[in-house]
Amino acid sequence: MGLRASIVAVSIVIAGVVVGFFVTQYMGHTPPTVTVSTSANTVEGRPVVDVTFTTVAAVGSGLHPNWVAYLNSDGNPSTYFHVPAGSVVRITIDQQDGASGLRNPYFGLVRGTVGNEMTVNHKVMTSINPDDAAHTFTIPDLGVSVPLLGVADNAPAGAQNVVQFEFIAPPQGTYRWQCFVPCAAGTLYGNGGPMQTLGYMAGEMTVS
Amino acid sequence: MTERRRRYIRMYALVWFVLAVAGDIGLALGPTPPFQASDLASSQSTVIKILAVIAWPVFSAVVATIAFTLFGNRVAPHEGDIDPGKLRGDSRPQIAWISASIVIVLSLAVYGTVALASDQPGAGISTTSASLRQPASPSDPLEVQVIAQQWWFTYRYPTYGGVETPQLVIPVGQKIQFHVTSLDVVHSFWFYALGVKADAVPLNDNVFTVTPTQTGTYRVQCSELCGLWHGNMNADDAMVVSSSDFATWIQQQQAMDAPILKYLPAYSHTYEPNPPAYGT
């Protein structure tokens, strides 16, 4: 009896330690952030910060190798970045994914950016054909939304569209952002998997 | 009936009366949510006020009874035997509370039925066809379509060329007819201040008519669990403005939408996502 009781007690303690270990590992996990570099020049006295993403059709490694994602410069899925309040945030996206089309064509409009415009391969654009959208970069609470032009199906391997736009960082806070193209192939209505997972097609911008 | 018991009942009646009257005065004079920002909100506010004013004395009686039973009826051991059978067979209090309950419940049922029948917000599933026509007269409702999608509401104004915006702005004093639909999962359009909460269901056109009566900036919120950002699917920039401010705003939106207008689908009360099955 004494032996059995101590075996049970020890098992419970071991189970508790294992569960506690995984919980603390999970809670303590910080997603990789996107490196933000401060540019030397300023616009109207505002500092300019550069944020660079790559969007790909499939991550290729990690937990979900076949998911679409925004990648940071290390090639990891990452959608978290920090910018200073009031700065000019210049986002550059190397868009390498093909088009899958918007569910709501309205998001083919560029809005909320400086001049309500973007450049695609250095060409200024204010909207794209919604059917040609691969993703969007949208911060709902700021009214910022930029459609990302998909790479043509017949484009040579390695082709990409470089999308660049600027917006003014709002006051301090955390702002969610996401993609509005149902781009999660193989999931219900294209809105599952990476569309519902932070770090892939949804993330947060922290303004401090 | 002993003198002690008479005193007890008088005390009980006094405490209940003061509690009930003081609470009812506060409830009747104080503001009642959802306040007065629209005709619907005002009527909901009135219903809630009437229910609260009637319910409060009942609540006070329950609290007073519990308190008096616990403290007023105490008999300490040295005060002698407890007589447990005092209320048994006393039909007067029973008749009193049963008939009071019947009167209150039945009159509220009558009031509720009359209020429901006379208040016709025009809510329900619509089968009318969509059109881009201007309202013929100021008494015609202004149609505003609410399009829910994961995770942002956008709004279309069919009487202004089908312009679409992510901000809701409506003119004060004008009857607004919301047509609520969704492009993906079920959402719910909740404009609390106007007293409007309408499910947004794909391929359904849910109609709600309301007349905003106060200008201001309000919050709209999704109130149906809809995915990752459901908790953040809200906006604090919904506005009720004067009709001249609305005219200015809608012109700005039309100018802003110029690059995308040709790509927007023809205005319709429901939208079939195209292609029908994504991600397969």
Q: Give the pLDDT confidence of A11-68 residue by residue, as tens digits.
A: 999 999 999 999 988 877 777 788 888 877 788 888 899 999 999 888 888 888 889 9
Which DSSP symbol is given to B87? S
CA distance B148 to B158: 16
First to last CA, chain B: 82
Give the mean model confidence (pLDDT) for residues A165-182. Answer: 93
Q: Is 2.60.40.420 the CATH classification of the domain at B125-261?
A: yes
What pLDDT is stored for residue B254 in this prediction? 93
- Contact list in A for residue B184 (CB cut-off 8 A) is 103, 182, 189, 191
Compute how many other C-beta atoms are within 10 angstroms of the C-beta atom of residue A42.
12
CB contact under 8 A, B279 and A187: yes
* Model confidence pLDDT, tens digit, residues A175-188: 999 999 988 887 87
Structure tokens, A73: 């410069």
Element (H or E) spanning B249, and its range? helix B243-261
pTM above 0.80, yes or no: yes
Q: Which residues pair with A137 in a beta bridge?
A: A146
A4 to chain B nearest CA, in Å?
A: 46
B250 to chain A nearest CA, in Å?
A: 16
Give the mean model confidence (pLDDT) for residues A89-107. Answer: 91
- Contact list in A for residue B275 (CB cut-off 8 A) is 101
The verdict on whether omega for the bond into residue B34 sits within 30 degrees of 0, i.e. cis, is yes
Q: For a pLDDT cut of 70, what percent of chain A falls above it?
A: 100
What pLDDT is stored for residue B280 in this prediction? 42
CA distance B181 to B188: 9
For this complex, say whether ipTM is above 0.95: no
Compute how many other C-beta atoms are within 10 angstroms of the C-beta atom of residue B126.
18
- Nearest-by-Cβ selection for B279 from A109, A110, A184: A184
Residue A194 in contact with residue A200, Cβ under 8 Å?
A: yes
Compute how many other C-beta atoms are within 10 angstroms of the C-beta atom of residue A158.
7
Low-confidence ranges of chain B (pLDDT < 50): 276-280
Residue B190 in contact with residue B196, Cβ under 8 Å?
A: yes
- Contact list in A for residue B235 (CB cut-off 8 A) is 140-141
User: Is the minimum CB–CB distance between A196 and chain B shorter than 8 Å?
Assistant: yes
Fold of the domain built from segment(s) A31-207 = Immunoglobulin-like (2.60.40)
What pLDDT is stored for residue B279 in this prediction? 45
Residue A206 pLDDT > 80, yes or no?
A: yes
**How far is Cα of residue A183 from the mean position of the Cα atoms in its chain?**
13
B155 to chain A nearest CA, in Å?
A: 10
- Contact list in A for residue B152 (CB cut-off 8 A) is 138, 140, 180
- Contact list in B for residue A67 (CB cut-off 8 A) is none
CA distance B146 to B198: 10
Look at the alpha carbons of B101, B103, B106, B107 in this order and tell me if their dihedral is positive or negative.
Answer: negative
Structure tokens, B67: 């308190």
What pLDDT is stored for residue B84 in this prediction? 57
* Model confidence pLDDT, tens digit, residues B65-101: 898 888 866 777 777 666 655 556 678 878 988 999 9
| Number of residues that this document lists for chain B | 280
User: Is the minimum CB–CB distance between A203 and chain B shorter than 8 Å?
Assistant: no
What pLDDT is stored for residue A36 in this prediction? 84
Compute how many other C-beta atoms are within 10 angstroms of the C-beta atom of residue B135.
14
Residue A39 in contact with residue A50, Cβ under 8 Å?
A: yes
CA distance A179 to B149: 12
Q: How confident is the model at residue A203 (pLDDT cuts 50, 70, 90)?
A: very high
What pLDDT is stored for residue B172 in this prediction? 93
- Contact list in A for residue B232 (CB cut-off 8 A) is 140-141, 176
Structure tokens, B191: 């404009």
CA distance B174 to A38: 49
CA distance B237 to B166: 10
Helix axes B3-29, B39-67, angle to 10 degrees: 160
Amino acid A72 reads N
- Tell me whether strands B142-149 and B176-182 are parallel, antiparallel or unpaired: parallel
What pLDDT is stored for residue A74 in this prediction? 84
Which DSSP symbol is given to A191? -
Amino acid A179 reads C
CA distance A94 to A54: 5
What pLDDT is stored for residue A158 in this prediction? 79
What pLDDT is stored for residue A1 in this prediction? 66
The residue ranges of every structural domain in chain A are 1-30, 31-207
- Nearest-by-Cβ selection for B279 from A108, A126, A185: A185
A188 to chain B nearest CA, in Å?
A: 7
CA distance A12 to B4: 62
What pLDDT is stored for residue B136 in this prediction? 58
Selection from A206, A155, A179, A160 nearest residue A70 by Cα: A179
CB contact under 8 A, B228 and A143: no
CA distance A89 to A50: 6
